[in-house]
Structures are given as structure tokens and as C-alpha cells.
Amino acid sequence: MRYTFLTYSRPEDFANVPPEELGQLKGLFGAYIGSLKAAGILVGVDWLQPVSNATTVSDGGDRIHDGPFAETKETLGGYMTIEVPDLDTAISWAKKCPMAKYGAVEIRPTAMDA
């Protein structure tokens, strides 16, 4: 089954993280993505710019506004999609994701197979 990891964090939590640790985090992420690739389960991945750079289109395209769809403390920072047999395998991979330590990883199974 295909599962997408949505990584959430609070931007304010990163405000006080020293630059060298942020650099380290990038390295950790690279290694993590590498391990997903090596396991042959990675379907897609992206890492997103902050919500301050978000543009939202709604009302059938009539409304375009600056900013995210919903103003929340926790923001979506990126996603990874993997193909594994079951939720338990997905959970074991999500536990290894660096964002499980700095924020949270929401696991959502695909609805396209149904």
C-alpha cells in the first residue's frame, strides 16, 4: 500500500535552533531519504518553502490570496510517499524520520487504490 508522510512542525520551534544543528538536520534528512531509496520504497518526496511563501487559490479559482489555506501553529513542511505492505511497516519508517523528533509525521494511506 502507498502511504504518504506529511511532516509538520512549528516554525517558531526552529527559531532557536543553532545554524550548525539546522545544517546537521539537512544531512540527517538526506541520509533518511537515501535509506528510503536504498530500500526501494520511495515513490516521491518534496521539501517545501515556508508558509510565508504560500499562495492559495480557492472559490473555483475566483479567489487568490497570499498565505496558507489555514493559519495554524503547526505547518506542513514536506512530504514523502512510500510503497510498503502495511501500516506497521510505514510506522517503523516514520519513526526513523528526523521530523518525528523535531515535529510530527502524519501517516496517510492512499485513497487511490480503493
Partner 1 sequence: MAHEERMAEVMRSSYGRLLAILASTSGDILIAEDALSDAFAKALIHWPSDMPKNPEAWLLTVARHRLIDVRRRDARIDFRDELPEPQGPEGHPADIPDDRLKLMFVCAHPAIDARMHTPLMLQTVLGLDSEVIARAFLLPHTTMAKRLVRAKRKIRDTAVAFQVPDREDLPARLTAVLEAIYAAFSQDWMGDGPLAQEALFLATLLVDLVPDDAEVLGLAAVIAFSLSRDAARVDGDRFVALEDQDPSKWNTALIHRATAYLSRAQALGHIGRFQLEAAIQSVHADRLHTGITNWPALVQLHLGLSHIAPTIGATVSYAAALGKVGKPDEGLAALLRIEAKVLAGFAPGQATRAYLLAELGRIGEAVAAYEVAIALTQEPALRRHLEGKRAALGAQLM
Could you tell me how far CA 40 lies from the centroid of its own chain? 19
CB of 110 to partner 1, least distance (A): 10
Binding mask 42-81 for partner 1 (x = CB under 8 A): ----------------------------------------
- Grid coordinates given for 12: 517558531
Neighbour-count burial for 14-24, b at 16+ CB within 10 Å, e otherwise:
eeeeeeeeeee
- Grid coordinates given for 100: 518525528
Q: Determine which residue in the list 25, 89, 100, 104 makes contact with partner 1, applying CB under 8 A.
A: 89
Please give the residue ranges that form the binding site for partner 1 (CB under 8 A). 1, 85-89, 91-92, 107, 109, 114
